[in-house]
Amino acid sequence: MIKEKRKIFPGLIITLLICFTACKDISSDNKQEETIAEEDKIIQYSDRFSYLLDYSVDSLAFPRSADDNGIIKKVLSKDWTSGFFPGTLWKIYQLTGDTKYKAKAKEWTTFIEKEKYNDRTHDMGFKVFCSFGNGYRMTNDESYRAIILESAETLSTRYNSTVGSIRSWDFNKEEWQFPVIIDNMMNLELLFEASNYSEDPKYYNIARQHANTTLKNHFRENNSSYHVIDYDTITGKIRTKVTHQGFSNESSWARGQAWGLYGYTMAYRYTKDIAFLEQSKKIASFLMEHKNLPEDAIPYWDFDAPNIPSEPRDASAAAVIASGMIELYEYTKDKKYLEFADEIIASLSSKKYIIQKETNVPFILSHSTGNWPKNDEINGPISYADYYFLEAVLRRKNLK
């Protein structure tokens, strides 16, 4: 159960959703206007949307993160995070109905098309489905559909039937033969949808088998997840289990747990495999009941980091968890998942996590942690935090 001493305020969430939809959905009803005025603790973070709109379009400069000095880390389309910025613009368009965001989303999305042939990465879902996938839902542009299908075909070439998984990374070959990371669960959505689009079961079968292999090997007895499982390519047997971006191999890296929750809930959506739903529920319990979960429900970057409560938080993990919990609620109708998601959304919507208006960077949330072991992107804004935060808000809004 969620700790009783932490409480959620439904009125706060309702006002939160009103703030997000002010451009399109809010009426001129005086009571609504008064409600917004009274909730002066809620930042009108829709103001931050304009910073994303004003960021200069550049095919070589997808905004990934920013440091304490406001210096933006810019990446090429081949970077695993490239799809989140255009995806965020698509979601802002969905929230506001403002066609300026649609136009800008289309511009940025176009730059990712060449990745459909990039067979050196497993992150096709993050790059292509977060951009073209959202675009296809918003526009029904058949050229987007074709790009998604080509990307699924490319991703499928990384599948190894002996292992029963899609290969994740190609680096560190002197140590790993066939590494599979928990993050890769997120890329299965591209494959599932590709089978829906094409009526070809190949992509569905690969995705489902990958989910089954991960379910079998990635999780500990307490339902936390390792980050990386390395397999022998000849026998398909496990060689090593490590947590590459966590504090230690046996620690529970927060974003990894978030990927697992979201990934298995999504896999259940497509397969209706009860084992996937049960795993989602187990991960949810691990997260909600953990003794090191902070009062505001925004996890530290690793649940077992040694200097809690002085460790950095990870707002990106929280955003992924919130979005996953809302979908899990849809399938279970268990209100504890929805209440926990509401709690996270409310916390992320506070002044502590929303970047203040005067900070001129194309991001919404701060206090995310990218790669702590490498001291990279610590306690700042990161593009995927914004993406999953807006997805969570949209999912919550659509429940109404």
123 is catalytic: yes
123 is in an annotated binding site: yes
Q: Identify the residue whose tokens are 């109905």.
A: 97
State phi, psi for 382 to the nearest 5 degrees.
Answer: -140, 140
Catalytic residue among 47, 79, 123, 170: 123
State phi, psi for 52 to the nearest 5 degrees.
Answer: -70, -40
259 is in an annotated binding site: yes
243 is in an annotated binding site: yes
Write the single-letter amino acid at 55: Y
183 is in an annotated binding site: yes
183 is catalytic: yes
Render 349-398 in DSSP notation, one character per residue. Answer: TSTTTBPPTT--SS-SB--B-SBGGGTBS-SB-BHHHHHHHHHHHHHHHH
Rounded Cα distance between 319 and 325, Å, is 10
Write the single-letter amino acid at 372: W
Sign of CA dihedral 28, 31, 37, 39: negative
Eight-state DSSP code of residue 128: I
Catalytic residue among 25, 54, 67, 183: 183
Determine contact, residues 330/352, Cβ cutoff 8 Å: no
Report the half-sphere exposure of 216 (CA within 13 A, side-chain side).
14
Render 294-360 in DSSP notation, one character per residue. Answer: -TTS--BSBTT-TTTTSSPB-HHHHHHHHHHHHHHHHHH--HHHHHHHHHHHHHHTSTTTBPPTT--
Contacts of residue 215, Cβ cutoff 8 Å, sequence gap at least 6: 264, 275, 276, 279
Nearest Cα to Cα of residue 123 among 88, 164, 79, 86:
79
Nearest Cα to Cα of residue 314 among 243, 227, 381:
381
What length does the chain have?
400
Rounded Cα distance between 94 and 394, Å, is 8
Binding-site residues sit at: 123, 183, 243, 255, 259
Residues with active-site annotation: 123, 183
Binding-site residues for substrate sit at: 123, 183, 243, 255, 259
